[in-house]
Structure 1
Amino acid sequence: MYKKSLVFLFLVFTVCHGDIFEECEDVESESFVSSWQSCQSYVYCDGDESMLGECDEGQYFDPETSSCDDAANVKCFLDEVDEPSVEEEPEPEPTPPVMEQPTDVEIVNTAPVVKPNCPNSDDPSQVIFMANNASCADYYLCYHGHAIEMHCTNQLHFNGLTGQCDYPENVHCPLDEPSAHKCLPHITDFFPHPDKCSYFYYCIKGFLTLQQCPFYYGWDIERRSCVQLNVAKCYGNSRRA
């Protein structure tokens, strides 16, 4: 079994002076312990000089040998613990308008139309949709001048050309393009981290700051918030660890 020595562990340390690691409680100084963040990470405990480190891709930290090893050779406690069930507080939703019950149901065979704004009056022979500029999967159904929020399921995106939910590769949503993630002086927004799903960027007036979701949470590019990591839709090929 191939083991990396502790000498090489220092080469991948991320210096975090001043941070307090709960993993180091009741642990002897100058010790290496498993990180509670991921199986790939570990902590060097030495008081104020404690640091967070990370093994190479495809490796886990082995607390029995205090070294990195292939993931298949390491039994990680995070793989055995179910993620905590945390109910998210639902965001308040606007009260939809009262739908009038039609006396006769007419089948509309014409294709839906996508407009930038909902018209004040409806055409009984035409369905009007409106795209959501803040989400690839959300869109609006126009009804008597009101925009009723709708959502594409099964990880589909709303296609503004056809007025239907479609595969992302057919839609090419601009929010998924890296060029859209620019922090300009007039922008206050959130952007996903390109490599790690548990991180995201907060852009305020041209300044970009790195933020981190709580443990077991990741940044969802559609909900634009931190959700449980196992259900988060991460950006591109970013790692969930």
Structure 2
Amino acid sequence: MFTKVPAVLCLLLLAGALTVSRGEEFPQCVNVEPETFVMAVEDCASYIYCNGEDSFRDSCPEHTYFDDKAQECAFDDAGFCLREAPSGMAETLQPAESAPEQEHPSTTGAPETVPSTEAPASSVPVGRPHCDASSDSFHPHPQRCEYYYRCLSGYLTIVRCPYKYGWDSRKQQCQPLSEAQCYSL
């Protein structure tokens, strides 16, 4: 009976060795050197280790984000990573439509054109910025001072400044709300 156990174990080990499973493939790992960490597109607190079939995805500890330049998880004191979107915040913004002019009859007989009383379109930038893969950049959120967009290696991330701070477009950093110059480009 004990002589059959090693044979069965050998067969199980052989069967396990023959079933080769490929690792998950990530589009972020294309054109990246092996053994490189990259930030996950949809979550700045996650990263992907790119190493062929050994590639995997993991998350940074709480209150940290993945800093792809330093290739490590970093403390999120500056508010680089927004883990939860606030309730009620619209993700896609629609451009304001201008109101058509309306004709009103005049006492002189000629039709008079009067502009509508609706407010004109805002000069605040609307929508998400386009990220260029060749350069990193920051962009203000068009409606919320405490948020801004960060373009990193062609990937767009929305970021929230720390509590009672807002994105200052001129200084390109979070400042106390009372000092922040919001929305301007």
Structure having greater relative contact order (Cα 8 Å, sep ≥ 6): 2
Higher radius of gyration, 1 or 2: 2
Question: TM-score w.r.t. structure 1 length?
Answer: 0.25
Question: TM-score w.r.t. structure 2 length?
Answer: 0.32
